[in-house]
Structure 1
Amino acid sequence: MSRILDTIRSPADVRRLSMEQLATLAQEIRARIIDVVCKNGGHLASNLGVTELTLALHRVFDFAKDRLLWDVGHQCYVHKLITGRNANFDTLRQAGGVSGFPSTAESPYDLFDVGHAGTSIATAVGMARGDAAVGRDARVVALIGDASIVNGVAFEGLNQAGTLERQFLVVLNDNSMGIAPTQGALASYLSRFRVSKLYEEVKRKTTELLPKVPLVGKSMLGVLDHLKEGLKATVSPHQIFEQMGFIYVGPVDGHDLPHLIETLQLLRDVQHPVLLHVHTEKGRGCDWASKDPCAFHSPGKLRVEGDTVSVVKSDRKSWTTAFADAVIELMKTDPRVYALTAAMPDGTGLAKVRKAQPERVLDCGIAESCTVDIAAGMCKAGLRPLACIYSTFLQRAYDQVFQEVVLQQLPVIFCIDRAGLVGGDGAVHHGFLDITYLRGYQNMVLMSPADEPELTAALRFALTLSVPCAIRYPRDTV
């Protein structure tokens, strides 16, 4: 029996399907993604979680002329499958194959080569203003996750977007986590909203009762309206978006395809910035991925034997594990040692360290600049922080490394994972710039150990220094 997916050459084909066929297509897409990721590795749980949302967006908008901006972009597999890349999808993350991230070289539906968080809203604002300037009639949509929206660049983008006097849609994909559980006050803010029924109940009853109050003049209605708005502000944590100039809608079920389509159709031509809050489940449609979305966020190749699923791993220890083991030993003997990461506790090895020393590991969320500044402050207070950041992401904190660390000559220890080429993650994640920009800093010590004993020695040596240093190591086995 032929699959609907095999008949999809472009999003125009998606728009011709019935609702029943769309539901079948969603199942086929999930099966296709699971099959390919098991063979090649890749971002699994996040893509399974946005299947209906991606289909709904392509059903309502025409991204052959409208604009779709992805944040990070690792959740773009569904988008790729319905924009002409299904036939080659078996080459996902392979040399010369389909990229695991949006790629302008692959398709006109991919507007930017992206891989870092927080950028979608600002680039979408730029496209909205650019389109308006040249008279192009195109709707603009930015899709961002709840882990990315806490990034400073995302908030700067929201601040700019709120001033637009035109159609502009931000879709907040809220799955309660990024690679790891989302960190920070805004994450808590969104979490409180997800579990709170109070606001919706108050809003419903107020809407029902206010028009029924007898003998009320305009002034009294105004008072009641103010009361309603005041109560809304008291019990609704989404007011932050409305204060930034957005119309807030949601949260809506990100897996209810008919409702998603209906909601997007209502919002498509609203001539004002709108934020649509969509609640999705990471790993949806795959029991083992939904039960452990952290483990199956971006696994390597998978071995599936009946109900048992395991990641195909090398028998040799990875550099990341060697680093984690060394840090655990350092913390046993030096109480000044603390470790920080920017939303990558598993990738940097700090998840293992946190199990041994939970009070001495800090996950700052997707906020590399902030992470470096926190490390600088901790260092100034007498601690010896390890700023554990992927090479590709440390680029985002270039100014903070100079201003708050190097200029102050603070002995922060930068532990740079994923240095060098990183394989399947491609150009947006290669770590080949850190030597170039770090070697120009005054008194910065750079180390690149050759094996595990040298890595341990480098960390111990770093603790004796009174100047900043960086230890870089690859995504590989020792």
Structure 2
Amino acid sequence: MSTTQEHPAVHADSTEILEPAGSAVPESLLEDIDATQDPAEPGQADVAIPGDPAALRALDPAELPALSRTLRRRLLEITSSTGGHLGPNLGVVELTIALHREFDSPREAIVFDTGHQAYVHKMLTGRADLQGLRSAGGVSGYPDRGESAHDVVENSHASGSIAWAHGIDRARRLAGEPGCAVAVIGDGALTGGVGLEALNELASDIGSGTVAVLNDNTRSYAPTIGGLARHLQDLRDGTVTPGEDLFTAIGLTYLGPIDGHDHAALADALAQARTAAEDPARSGVVVHVVTRKGAGFARAEADVMDHWHATGPFEIEPPTVAEVYPPADAPAPATTWTARFGETILEAARADDRVVALSAAMVDPVGLTPMQRELPARVLDLGIAEQLAMDTAAGLAQGGAKPVLSLYSTFLNRAFDQLLLDVALHEEDVTITLDRAGVTGDDGPSHHGIWDLAVAAQVPGLSLWAPRDGERLSEALPAALSTRGPSLVRFPKGACPEALPAIDRVVAGDVLAGDPSAPIDVLVVTIGALAHRAVEAVQQVMGVEAGAAAEGVAPNVVVLDPVQALPLPEALLDLAGAASAVVTLEDGVAERGIGAALAVRLAQRASRTSPMPPLRTLGVVQEFIPHAKRDAILSDNGLDAAGIEESIRSLLG
């Protein structure tokens, strides 16, 4: 998910601001697309994509190279308009065809881990055009049970597929049903603890019909790290031979390495896997398949950063020199939150040798690339293992370092226990930064970062900053680093808004509108990047009310950003308790976040003679929200300026 000079218009952050640029794949690129096909058939014509796996199984093997070519062509055409996870899907074309020819989906479950590599699976199970990919009402970018019986697990968080498949297999055997269950897991996902835990358990289950297909492309976003990655490299190189491998050593049946772009080799390997899985004397099977991320599209294969892991809309024809190097007088692109964070942590690391950054296999997506380039020894990639990363950060803090653990907000959920009972219980000075906080949009229910404020509000002693703009982000990180105990800094996806300066500063925080020294009719407490919408709403309320009032006296509606939202400042409680009414605003779940915590504290202060003021807690509904654009989701939840204005008016009466 990175911008490089090879494809400057495809940064994942750009999907909300670039216009679709889709076009047909020109003949000039067909050699690129044919790069993984049999050289004896470079000009084979496209074939129709089968409408279901039964039709796929009816194809003659000689037709499969042409089908692969067709699928790659369609992947390029579709994602050039919609954006999406292009590189991973280009890499699994032949593998997905082979899986659906050998296994009888949906009777035999195929669980993809992570699900962003399931586009080809969707195309072969009745969704050939991926209609409306990643847009509201369209096809999801991950498996979705609401779309098809072939989609088993949404599973866009990594490492769980083997456990899912093994559980499905156990249930099948308990019911006396024949067949296999298949997990498709990447080498990157095997750096996650639950994947290794599942292999350990599977190895002891004699009679299991579970097949774990290890899609080894040597990468997650970046090159896979750790001892297991070295072991897979040794298997690929032949310095470790089958039978001497780790999987065999723990009791699994190992098949591989297999060329993941060779139809015949894949068919043979998966047939052997079925035979082994149906042997009651064996435990599970691991099929080690070697693929290339971005396979068949030269520009993706040549991209050393992430092989076009995720892309916004793009031009299929290679960019011109002018596109790669825009003229000097061209307007500068909007600075993203991620880029602003990257600058800020590098400055902090330059100023303090104790600052160490940690990532869970996402160094570039979370903005750590500038620091990694300048200070590589102080950026640690621990693989897709958030629990490990949190505990490693705790250990670094205990040892005297100043760790900064940078995650996507949605992935903080995976390490809640470590945050609560390892970091917070021991008051370790760990700073956590959360990219993609709040509503994110296109990736759907598993990737919205709407849970972190609710999680943070339950952790004793945690300090939280939710900056409203890039300038405040640059201030928040140093503040967090200098604060005792666990600290969290969260920010959303996309471009930073214009700076929103305070018109006044009080002990409770930054005043963005209204007069806190006068009686307050409504206090609007805004957390994070929704502050601009709050100010817009209040300006509208005050302007309309002033025009309508007989003496031109508008209500005093104060917008306050507490800057440091947790622990709840006593001064904020004082200000809110003295207001006639209170509105809280956050892009997290309304029932469990900062507003809810404020409501509890105000209620605890209240009495019959000093009642709590009416309070509206505005936030996201506590549901799993489908994929759609961020602004549309915020509007649906009353978090646009119009919705905030309506809530304020409801309190004014």
Match of 1:450, SS? coil
Matched, 1:48 2:90: yes
Q: Which runs of 5+ in 2 are unaligned?
A: 1-43, 497-653
**Is the CA contact (8 Å cut-off) linking 1:103 and 1:114 kept in structure 2?**
no
1:429 aligns with 2:472: no
Measure the CA separation in 2 of the matches of 1:308 and 1:93. Answer: 28
Offset at residue 423 of structure 1 (A): 1.4
Deviation at 1:70, TM superposition (A): 1.0
- 2:61 aligned to which of 19, 24, 46: 19
Asked whether the equivalents of residues 301 and 307 of structure 2 are also in contact (C-alpha less than 8 Å), the reply is: no
- Distance in 2 separating the partners of 1:269 and 1:349: 46
Distance 1:261 1:308 in 2: 41
Offset, 1:56: 0.4
Q: Deviations over 1:63-113 (max 9, x none)?
A: 1311111111110011000100114x1411111111111111110001112
How far apart, CA to CA, are the structure 2 residues paired with 1:275 and 1:382?
42
Gap runs ≥5 in structure 1: 201-231
Decide which structure has greater helix share. Answer: 1
For residues 57-456 of structure 1, what are the structure 2 equivalents within 5 Å?
Answer: 57-87=99-129, 89-164=130-205, 165-196=207-238, 199=241, 236=244, 238=245, 240-270=246-276, 271=279, 272=282, 273-292=284-303, 294-306=306-318, 315-456=333-474
Shift of 1:24: 0.5
Pair 306,401 (structure 1): closer, same or farther in 2 beyond 3 Å? closer
- Verify the 8 A CA contact 2:255 2:269 in the aligned structure 1: no
Q: Secondary structure at the match of 2:124?
A: helix
Distance 1:251 1:196 in 2: 9
Secondary structure at the aligned position of 1:446 is classed as strand
Q: Which deviations, in whole Å up to 9, do the C-alpha atoms of 1:28-80 show, x marking residues without a partner?
A: 00111111111111111111111000000101111131111111111001100
Q: Deviations over 1:339-387 (max 9, x none)?
A: 1000001110112221121111111110000000010000011111101
**Counterpart-to-counterpart distance in 1, 2:185 and 2:332:** 34
TM-score under structure 2 length normalisation: 0.65
- Aligned partners of 1:20, 1:432: CA distance in 2, in Å? 48
Comparing 298-307 with 12-21, greater Cα deviation is found at 298-307
CA distance in structure 2 between the aligned counterparts of 1:468 and 1:275, rounded to whole angstroms? 40
Distance (Å, rounded) in 2 between the aligned partners of 1:299 and 1:346 = 14
Single out whichever of 316-325 and 184-193 deviates more from structure 2. 184-193
Relative to the length of structure 1, the TM-score reads 0.89
Instruction: Tell me the secondary structure at the aligned position of residue 414 of structure 1.
Output: strand
Which stretches of structure 1, 4 residues or longer, exceed 3 Å deviation after superposition? 197-200, 304-314
Q: What is the count of residue pairs matched by the alignment?
A: 440
Question: Does structure 2 retain, via aligned residues, the 8 Å contact 1:71–1:114?
Answer: yes
Which has the higher relative contact order, 1 or 2, with Cα contacts under 8 A spaced 6 or more apart?
1
- Cα deviation for residue 169 of structure 1 reads 0.9
- Three-state SS of the structure 2 residue aligned to 1:115 is coil
Does the C-alpha gap of structure 1 residues 100 and 308 become closer, same or farther in structure 2, counting only changes over 3 Å?
farther
Query: 1:325: how far off?
Result: 0.4
Contact 2:356-2:404 at 8 Å conserved across structures: yes
CA contact (8 A) 1:5 1:29 kept: no
Secondary structure at the aligned position of 2:117 is classed as coil
Alpha-carbon separation, structure 2, partners of 1:64 and 1:358 = 46
* 1:241–1:247 contact (8 Å) kept in structure 2: yes
